[in-house]
Structure 1
Amino acid sequence: MKADPAAQRRLLDLAEVDAELGRVHHRRTSMPELAEITAAEQAVRARADARVGVQTQLDDLDREVARQEKEIDAVRAREERDRKLMAGGTLNSKALTDVEHELATLKRRRSVLEDDLLELMERREAIGMDAQHAGVALAEAEQRLAEVTARRDENLADLDTNQARRDAERAKVVPGIPPGLLALYERKRAARGIGAALLRARRCGSCQLEIDRRELSLIKESPADEVVEHEECGVILVRTAESGV
């Protein structure tokens, strides 16, 4: 392929811009905040699940407490009714004995229920503390996630600015490169990551290998407008006064 030497030298400008764009892409996909966000999201989910679990226990205990209190109220109401019957003086001896027996039974039943309720309330208090701790832990995890996300977004904004600047530079360089040469460059870049490099002091600017004598002799014999490629790494070798040929 033939191309004006000046156009070939513009490939170096394009390669420099593309290298920076490559670095921008690498930083965008490998910034440490991405891994931190993944870990922070996992922590938030785990702590949210923990809080739900504790809250479920609290809800179950609240229902149990309500049921226990309702049963105690029913026993107390029955006791109050029996006391009124006894105080009314209308009961015969046998009925009075039966009511007294029932009152004693109700008192024992109420005592057991109240002990159970006390145990339930103590358990609820302990789990309530667990719920508070779970809420604090979740809030801390969410705050951590927000902080890391803000750092990532700040970094992304800087990268977006850098990329926009490099895209603008690329748009200025590309029109000065013939379509055929540009297409060859793009194929090289797609295959190897680098499309063109400077031949400096007999060394390839891409792979940094020194050109062997045979290949160097062929390059020296090639006209200035001949597009040459490095046999070793395949990039377009751009010749300038620094090339030593």
Structure 2
Amino acid sequence: MKATVAEQQTLLRLQEIDTRIAQLAHRLRALPQAAPLAELAAREDAVRRSRAEAVGVLEDAKAELGRIESDVQMVEARIARDGDRLTHTSSVKDVTALEAELVSLRKRLSDLEDQELVVMEKVEGAEGAVAAIDDERAAIAVEQQRLETERGEAASVIETEREHAVRDRGTVAAEVPEALLAFYEQRRERGAGVGAALLRQRTCGGCTITLTGNDLEQVRRAAPDEVVQCPECDRILVRTDESGL
């Protein structure tokens, strides 16, 4: 393939821009906020599971408290009913039976009230656990929002740089003949983003291999308008006064 010296050297400018665009894309993918945001997401997920468990404990405790409160109401109702019956009966047998039942009911009520206090404390503790988890989730959300804002601002700056670089690339690419540009793009795709490299002091800027022997002699003999490639990495070698030929 033939191309003027200027056209070949333009490839170096194009490569510089392409490298810059690739670097910006890498920076965009590797913003410093990404790792802590991922950690926060994992924490939030773990906290969310913990909250589900804590809510389950709270609901069980409330259900238990509800059952005890219902039992308390039933016993209190029976005490009131038996007390009323006691005041309205004149039968010694009924009085004896009612008094015995009231003793038993009051004992049952005392036991239920003791249980009620224990379960109320359990409910209070479970509510505190849920509240603490909610506070932690809120703190995580605040930190996530802060990092998201920082990431958005940083990404915006990088994206602006990338847009400028893409615009510059279009300008420089327009200076390269179509066939040479297509060949460069092919080499770049195969060469991990590097399609053209400067030959400096007989060393390829793409793979850092120093040309010797027949490889060096072939490059030396190539006409200035001949597009040459590195015998090692196959990238386009651009020759300048720095090439040491």
Structure 1 residue ranges, 4+ long, deviating more than 4 angstroms after superposition: none
TM-score, normalization by structure 1: 0.93
Q: By how many angstroms is 1:167 displaced?
A: 0.5
2:78 aligned with 1:97: no
2:184 aligned with 1:199: no
Q: How does 1:162-241 map to 2 (within 5 A)?
A: 162-193=161-192, 194-241=194-241
TM-score, normalization by structure 2: 0.93
Q: By how many angstroms is 1:187 displaced?
A: 1.1
Distance 2:182 2:236 in 1: 12
- What does residue 81 of structure 2 align with? 81
Q: By how many angstroms is 1:181 displaced?
A: 0.9
Size of the aligned set, in residue pairs, is 244
Answer yes or no: is the 8 Å Cα contact 1:85–1:91 preserved in 2: no
Distance 2:8 2:24 in 1: 25
Q: Secondary structure at the match of 1:242?
A: helix
Distance 1:141 1:63 in 2: 31
Q: How does 1:34-53 map to 2 (within 5 A)?
A: 34-53=34-53
- The Cα offsets for residues 21-65 of structure 1, whole Å up to 9 and x where unpaired, read as 111122222334222222110100111111221122112211221
Q: By how many angstroms is 1:135 displaced?
A: 1.6
- What does residue 153 of structure 2 align with? 154
Q: By how many angstroms is 1:86 displaced?
A: 1.6
Distance 2:203 2:81 in 1: 108
- The Cα offsets for residues 92-114 of structure 1, whole Å up to 9 and x where unpaired, read as 11111111111111111111111
Q: How does 1:101-112 map to 2 (within 5 A)?
A: 101-112=100-111
- What does residue 25 of structure 1 align with? 25
Distance 2:154 2:105 in 1: 72
- The Cα offsets for residues 55-95 of structure 1, whole Å up to 9 and x where unpaired, read as 2211221122122112101111111111112222x341111
Q: Secondary structure at the match of 1:199?
A: strand
- The Cα offsets for residues 120-158 of structure 1, whole Å up to 9 and x where unpaired, read as 012122222222221222222222322232232222212
Distance 2:39 2:9 in 1: 46
Distance 2:125 2:36 in 1: 33
Q: Which amino acid aligns with 2:210?
A: E
In structure 1, the gaps of 5 or more residues are none
- Identity, in percent, stands at 33
- The Cα offsets for residues 179-221 of structure 1, whole Å up to 9 and x where unpaired, read as 1111111111111121001122322222233221432222222
- What does residue 57 of structure 1 align with? 57
Q: Which is worse superposed, 15-24 or 50-59?
A: 50-59
- What does residue 128 of structure 1 align with? 127
- What does residue 116 of structure 1 align with? 115
Answer yes or no: is the 8 Å Cα contact 1:185–1:236 preserved in 2: yes
2:82 aligned with 1:68: no
Q: Which amino acid aligns with 1:5?
A: V
Q: Which is worse superposed, 49-58 or 6-15?
A: 49-58
Distance 1:244 1:95 in 2: 124
Q: Secondary structure at the match of 2:208?
A: coil
Q: Secondary structure at the match of 1:9?
A: helix
Distance 1:2 1:102 in 2: 114
